[in-house]
Amino acid sequence: MGVSDYVMNLAEGRGQVVPMTVFVAVLCLCLVIGHLLQENRWVNESITAIFVGCLAGTIILLISKGKSSHILRFDEELFFIYLLPPIIFNAGFQVKKKQFFHNFFTIMLFGVVGVFISSSIISAGCWWLFPEYGFTGLTTKDYLGLGTIFSSTDTVCTLQVLHQDDTPLLYSLVFGEGVVNDATSVVLFNAIQKLDVEKFHGWQALHIVVDFLYLFSTSTALGVAAGLITAYILKGLYFGRHCTVREIALIGLMAYLSYILAELFELSGILTVFFCGIFMSHYAWHNTTESSKITTRHVFATLSFIAETFIFLYVGMDALDIEKWKVSKLSVWRSLIIYSTVMLLVLVGRAAFVFPLSAFSNYVHRNARNSSTITFKHQVIIWWAGLMRGAVSIALAFKQFTHSGVTWDPVNAAMVGTTLIVVLFSTIVFGFLTKPLVSYLLPPSSNISDINREPSISKDVKLPLLSFEESAATNVSRAKDSLSMLIERPVFTIHHYWRRFDDAYMRPIFGGPRSNESQ
């Protein structure tokens, strides 16, 4: 019996134990190599995981005599239920809330409006160009799905280069847009899946927008409610006086419960768990003991890191899946044309909203004193940061074109292969060039000026509520001042009023220091 036969028989006899053992061992190897390449100018964690995955896939392919390149079968449900929640929750839990909400208007422009613009361009481009190349067989729903699949960004490479303290504005925009973009893509994708394309008309387009707004608002509300309930329980019962483990367990389980409930009610679990993470770090985290505060930060960050590495490692292995490429009957030349077309549409679709929406954001903030403008160099980095595609694109593609990770339809197999190639190409090529590009556009000496402070408000502004202790003239004057400030500086005025409301009502109930003491 040869080595390959022995390994295959052993794997079959031990069920999933051997495959998982090998995969975890490869995952450990990936972490070690990533650590050794930490100071490398070109390579980051994502690229390292992909290369290690390709190497492991090649070895497995040789051992199995060309039968398979991976030892685990990708399941999109596994991704959405187990791998994605810790990634998104940690993003909300670790976010610098002051910067995030300070730039909330711009982040929502990029993350929501930008996805609609990019999806429209990619869908229309694929619908127009694919038949010109002789590639047919996709339905209207497939074309709409492609728009959302390739509009989901992966900003990990860029965030590993940017420093939150040196470039707070840029880091906040890239990070915030990346999370909101993923959530918007998934919500829009789910809305499209419910669409009846046979009766598609103008009202159906409006129905997509209404359905999207409903999913967005209800998912956010569920996440906020879960975060506030957790904070109230921790503050009222003081779990830490007996066992700090219960505090950590409650935060983790409540966050996961919010995600599962959102999926159960067909809402967006990504949005729910993201805003749950934000409100838990804003209130619940302050109600825990000091040891729990340190532990939660590291535990959630570790789980997120492992999940991200796991996904990119699998992508590297799956790129060498021979069966998938055999099912796709596209010629090499036609495949290259399809890949190039999609990549070009991704470039154009992102540029179509980054630069115009940046100009619009600068116009809205033109009267805000001490506020950093999104310069052209910043816009180029924001555009570049969103060119890389990652785990969400892979998961949506598998959900659209496969059943439990398997497809025997040549057209669907071609689309899965296209997604894999775009993810690999964008992550490796654009990821390699991210550090040199950021270093060239933003040398260390120029980062000093990138400060995004909240404008000082000279007036003693109170909440825009009527006071029975003051005269009607005073109330009218205060209302005029508040309205004038809202028109001149809407974003900062809303943020200012929220902080006052938070200090006066929310923190006394749900916990946490005053705004001038928190981040």
Eight-state DSSP code of residue 373: P
Is-contact 44 157, C-beta < 8 A? Answer: yes
Rounded Cα distance, 473 and 459, in Å: 18
Q: Please give the structure tokens belonging to residue 387.
A: 């060119």
Chain centre to alpha carbon of residue 171: 14
Phi, psi for 385 (deg, rounded to 5): -60, -30
Q: Helices 84-94 & 244-264, crossing angle to 10 degrees?
A: 120
What does DSSP assign to residue 406? B
**Reduced to 3 DSSP states, what percent helix, strand and coil does the chain have, rounded to the nearest 5?**
75, 0, 25
Q: Does the reported pTM lie above 0.85?
A: no
How far apart are alpha carbons 71 and 449 in whole angstroms?
Answer: 50
Instruction: Kindly give, in sequence order, each residue whose CB lies less than 8 Å from that of residue 151, ignoring residues fewer than 6 positions away.
Output: 115, 118, 119, 122, 181, 185, 349
Q: What is the pLDDT of residues 338-385, one digit of tens each?
A: 999 999 999 999 999 999 999 998 888 776 655 568 889 899 999 998
- pLDDT (tens place) for every residue of the chain, 519 residues total: 454 454 445 444 455 677 778 778 888 888 888 777 766 656 667 778 888 888 887 887 777 776 666 666 666 677 788 888 898 898 888 877 777 777 888 888 998 899 999 999 999 999 999 888 888 888 888 898 899 999 988 876 677 667 666 677 888 888 888 888 888 888 888 888 777 666 656 566 677 778 778 888 899 999 999 999 999 998 888 766 667 888 889 999 999 999 999 988 888 888 899 899 999 988 888 888 888 888 888 999 899 888 888 888 877 777 776 666 667 677 788 889 999 999 999 999 999 999 999 999 888 877 665 556 888 989 999 999 888 888 788 888 888 887 765 667 788 888 888 888 898 888 888 888 887 888 888 876 555 444 444 444 444 444 444 444 555 555 555 555 555 554 445 555 666 677 777 778 888 888 877 665 544
- DSSP tally for the chain: helices H, then strands E: 24, 0
Helix ranges, 152-201 (H) = 156-161, 168-193
**CA 416 from centroid of its chain's CA atoms:** 21
Task: Pick the closest to residue 349 from 401, 376, 392, 389 (CA basis).
Answer: 389
Place of tokens 């729990």: 292
Alpha carbon distance 353, 178 (integer Å): 14
> What is the rounded distance in angstroms from the CA atom of residue 442 to the CA atom of residue 185?
30
DSSP for 333-376, please give it: HHHHHHHHHHHHHHHHHHHHHHHHHHHHHHHHTTT-TTPPP--H
Give residue 157's Cα distance to chain centre: 13
- Report the amino acid identity of residue 463: L
Half-sphere exposure of 449 (CA within 13 A, CB side): 9
96-146 pLDDT, tens digit per residue, is: 777 777 788 888 899 889 999 999 999 999 999 988 888 888 888 889 889
Instruction: Supply the DSSP symbol for 403.
Output: B
DSSP character string of 53-80: HHHHHHHHHHHTTTS-S-SS---HHHII
